[in-house]
Amino acid sequence: MTELPVVTLLESPDDLDAVLAVDAESFLRPWTRQMYEAELRNPAVTRIFISRVDSHVAGYCATWFLPGELHINNLAVRPAYRRQRVASTLLAHVLEAAWVAGSQRATLEVRRSNHAARQLYGGIGFQLGGVRHDYYTDPVEDALILWRESPRAPQAG
């Protein structure tokens, strides 16, 4: 990675193609184009943030901005860009946007076995709030429900 990630909102069909490519590289059961298109038909709630590095889409975060609350639906980074602060930069941007929009807290679900994601979320203040048993399939696995009060991103000091 030669430059810091730049985060923007999904802006074009090409961006959606890139999100689908990131999904295919990241998940056993990625969302389909139809699922994303259905989400995007609700612009009052759905926001998809794209992280670019050297003009390439390195990752994305699909969210719902609900009254008083941010729900993170998907966060993924291409394998070639992992462990290079793409996810943390993306999350900081998303959390700040949610705070500005009036969110008082943020939530997400994560696979119990996804230790890298759990470490990332825990490092920015997400805490265990509950468990959804057998939430995921292929393989069947529990989802940990994580919450963070005040989604405002920590300020650099």
| DSSP state for residue 38 in the 8-state scheme | H
Which residue in this structure is represented by tokens 């992992």? 82
> Token pair of 68, please?
């008083």
Question: Is residue 109 annotated as part of the catalytic site, yes or no?
Answer: yes
Strand locations in the chain, DSSP E?
Answer: 6-9, 46-53, 56-66, 69-77, 105-111, 127-136, 141-149
Q: Is the dihedral of CA 33, 37, 43, 46 positive or negative?
A: negative
Amino acid at 127: Q
Edge-first strand listing for the sheet containing 105-111: 6-9, 46-53, 56-66, 69-77, 105-111, 141-149, 127-136
Question: Is residue 149 annotated as part of the catalytic site, yes or no?
Answer: no
- Choose the catalytic residue: 37, 109, 136, 141: 109
- Choose the catalytic residue: 36, 60, 121, 136: 121
Tell me the DSSP string of 53-77. Answer: ETTEEEEEEEEEEETTEEEEEEEEE
Catalytic amino acids? 109, 121
